[in-house]
Amino acid sequence: MPSMDGLYTTSLISIALFLLLFSPSVAVDTIPANQVIKDGETIVSAGELYELGFFSPANSNNRYLGIWFKKISTGKVVWVANRELPLSNTSGILKVTRDGFLQLSCCGDTVIWSSNSSAFVRYINPVAQLLDTGNFVVKDGNSTDETDLIWQSFDYPSDTLLPGMKLGKDFVTGTNRNLTSWKSPNDPSVGHYVDYIDTNGYPQAFLRQGSVMQIRFGPWNGNRFSGEPNEKSNPIYSIEFVFNQKEVYYKFELKSSVVQIICLKWDGIIEMLHWNNRSQDWFVYSTGLIDICNRYGICGPNGICDINKNPPCNCMDGFEPKHEDEWNMADWSSGCQLKIPLDCQAAEVFWKMRGMKFPDTRKSWYNQSMTLGECEIACKKNCSCTAYANLDIKRGGSGCLLWFGELMDLKACEDSQDLYIRMPASLLKGLTGVSEPGFNKMIRVLASVFSILLTLLGLSLAVYASNMKKKRSSMKGRGRRVPSIDRHYSDVEKEDLQLNFFSLSQIAKATNNFSINNKLGEGGFGPVYKGVLENGQEIAVKQLSETSEQGYDEFYNEVICVGRLQHRNLVKILGYCMDGDERILIYEYMSNKSLDLFLFDENRSSMLEWPQRFDIIHGIARGILYLHHDSRLRIIHRDLKASNILLDHNMTPKISDFGIAREFGGDETTSKTKKVVGTYGYISPEYAVHGRFSIKSDVFSFGVLVLEIVSGKKNRDFSCEDINDNLLGHGA
Ligand SMILES: *[C@@H]1O[C@H](CO)[C@@H](O)[C@H](O)[C@H]1NC(C)=O
Ligand SMILES: *[C@@H]1O[C@H](CO)[C@@H](O)[C@H](O)[C@H]1NC(C)=O
Ligand SMILES: *[C@@H]1O[C@H](CO)[C@@H](O)[C@H](O)[C@H]1NC(C)=O
Ligand SMILES: *[C@@H]1O[C@H](CO)[C@@H](O)[C@H](O)[C@H]1NC(C)=O
Ligand SMILES: *[C@@H]1O[C@H](CO)[C@@H](O)[C@H](O)[C@H]1NC(C)=O
Ligand SMILES: *[C@@H]1O[C@H](CO)[C@@H](O)[C@H](O)[C@H]1NC(C)=O
Ligand SMILES: *[C@@H]1O[C@H](CO)[C@@H](O)[C@H](O)[C@H]1NC(C)=O
Q: What band does 673 get if pLDDT is binned at 50, 70 and 90?
A: very low
Q: Is the pLDDT of residue 199 over 70?
A: yes
Distance 220 CA to ligand 6 centre (A): 20
Range of the domain at 282: 157-290
- Cα 447 to chain center, whole Å? 25
How far apart, in Å, are the Cα atoms of 543 and each of 317, 523, 529, 731? 25, 9, 8, 38
Confidence category of residue 227, pLDDT binned at 50, 70, 90? confident
For the segment 421-446, the average pLDDT, to the nearest whole number, is 58
Average pLDDT over residues 642-664: 75
Q: What CATH number does the domain containing 133 carry?
A: 2.90.10.10
692 plus 610 within the same structural domain: yes
Residue 452 belongs to some domain of the structure: no
What are the phi and psi torsion angles at 39 (to 5°)? -60, 130
CA of 134 to the centre of ligand 3 (A): 26
- Distance, CA of 404 to CA of 388 (rounded, Å): 9
Alpha helix segments (H runs only) across 435-551: 440-475, 491-497, 504-510
329 and 394 assigned to the same domain: yes
Please, which residues bridge with residue 66 across strands? 53, 80
235 and 310 in a single domain? The answer is no
Q: How far is the CA of 365 from the centre of ligand 7 (A)?
A: 9
pLDDT at residue 248 tops 70: yes
- Domain match, 150 and 29 both: yes
DSSP symbol at 630: I
Task: Tell me how far apart the alpha carbons of residues 460 and 108 are, in angstroms, rounded to a whole number.
Answer: 101
The average pLDDT across 435-450 equals 40
389 and 355 Cβ atoms separated by less than 8 Å: no
pLDDT over threshold 60, residue 103: yes
Confidence of residue 399 (pLDDT cuts 50, 70, 90): very high
Same domain, 701 and 581: no
Which of 290, 306, 333 terminates a domain? The answer is: 290
Asked if the model's pLDDT at residue 521 lies above 90, the reply is no
Q: Which atom from ligand 1 is nearest to the alpha carbon of 87? A: 5
- Residue at which a domain ends, from 275, 290, 305: 290
> 86 and 184, same structural domain?
no
245 in a structural domain: yes
Let me know the angle formed at the C-alpha of 663 by 661 and 668, rounded to the nearest 5 degrees. Answer: 130
Please report whether residue 505 resides in a domain.
Answer: yes
- Does residue 66 lie within any of the structural domains? yes
639 is catalytic: yes
Ligand showing the shortest atom-to-Cα distance for residue 362: 7
Clarify whether residues 541 and 570 are in a common domain.
yes
pLDDT digits 0-9 by tens, 557-569: 667 667 777 788 8
Domain count, the chain: 5
Q: Could you report the per-residue pLDDT of 567-584, keeping only the tens digit for each?
A: 888 888 888 887 767 778
State the pLDDT at residue 8: 43
228-236 long-range contacts, CB within 8 A, separation 24+: 229/415, 230/415, 236/260, 236/274, 236/285
Residue 632: pLDDT band (50, 70, 90) is: low
Question: Smallest Cα–Cα separation from 421: which of 327, 363, 338?
Answer: 338
In contact, 509 and 501? CB cutoff 8 Å: no
From 364, 365, 366, 369, the mutation candidate for ligand 6 (largest count of ligand atoms within 8 A of CB) is: 369
CB-based contact 528:516 (threshold 8 Å): no
User: How high is the pLDDT of residue 438?
Assistant: 39
Q: Which of 166, 345, 349 is nearest to 240 (CA)?
A: 166
Mean pLDDT value of segment 195-209? 95
603 plus 693 within the same structural domain: yes
Preceding omega of 219 cis (within 30 degrees of 0): yes
CATH number at residue 167: 2.90.10
Average pLDDT over residues 90-96: 93
pLDDT at position 635, please? 76
| Residue ranges around ligand 1 (CB below 6 Å) | 88-89, 91, 106-107
My answer on whether 285 and 311 are in the same domain is no
For ligand 5, say whether the CB of 277 is within 6 Å of any of its atoms: yes
Distances (CA, A) of 256 to 71, 209, 252, 260, 680: 18, 34, 12, 10, 52
Question: The whole model's pTM is what?
Answer: 0.61
Domain assignment present for residue 468? The answer is no
pLDDT at 24 over 60: no
Do 68 and 138 lie in one domain? The reply is yes
Q: What is the pLDDT of residue 713?
A: 80
User: Which atom of ligand 7 is found nearest the CA of 404?
Assistant: 4
Q: Is position 143 within any domain?
A: yes
Taking the CA of 203 as reference, the closest ligand is 4
Q: For 150-170, what is the mean pLDDT?
A: 95
CATH of the domain at 526: 3.30.200.20
Q: Give the confidence band of 144 by pLDDT, cuts at 50, 70, 90.
A: confident
181 lines ligand 4 (CB under 6 A): no
Query: Residue 528 and residue 545: Cα distance in Å, rounded?
Result: 10
Sheet holding 187-198, edge to edge: 179-184, 187-198, 204-209, 212-217
Answer yes or no: is the C-beta of 178 below 6 A from any ligand 4 atom.
yes
Give 606-611's long-range contacts (Cβ < 8 A, gap of 24+).
none
Lowest mean pLDDT among 3-17, 65-79, 258-272, 302-316: 3-17
Which residue did the predictor score with more confidence, 688 or 65?
Answer: 65
Q: Look at residues 154, 183, 212 and tell me which one is the last residue of a structural domain.
A: 154
Same domain, 602 and 724: yes
Strand segments (E) across 131-203: 136-140, 149-152, 160-161, 167-170, 176-177, 179-184, 187-198
- Whether 168 maps to a domain, the answer reads yes
Q: Is the pLDDT of residue 138 over 70?
A: yes
Average pLDDT over residues 456-462: 45
CA distance 512 to 539: 13
**DSSP track, 193-227:** EEEEEE-SSS-EEEEEETTEEEEEE--B-SSSBTT
Q: Could you give the CA distance from residue 309 to residue 311 in angstroms, rounded to a whole number? A: 6
Flag whether 6 is in a domain. no
Catalytic annotation, pick one of 159, 639, 698, 725: 639
Distance 167 CA to ligand 4 centre (A): 11
First and final CA of the chain: distance in angstroms? 80
Confidence of residue 229 (pLDDT cuts 50, 70, 90): confident
- Do residues 162 and 142 share a domain? no
Residue 455 above 70 pLDDT? no
Q: Are the CB atoms for 680 and 716 separated by under 8 Å?
A: yes
Instruction: Provide the pairing of β-strand 303-305 with 410-412.
Output: parallel
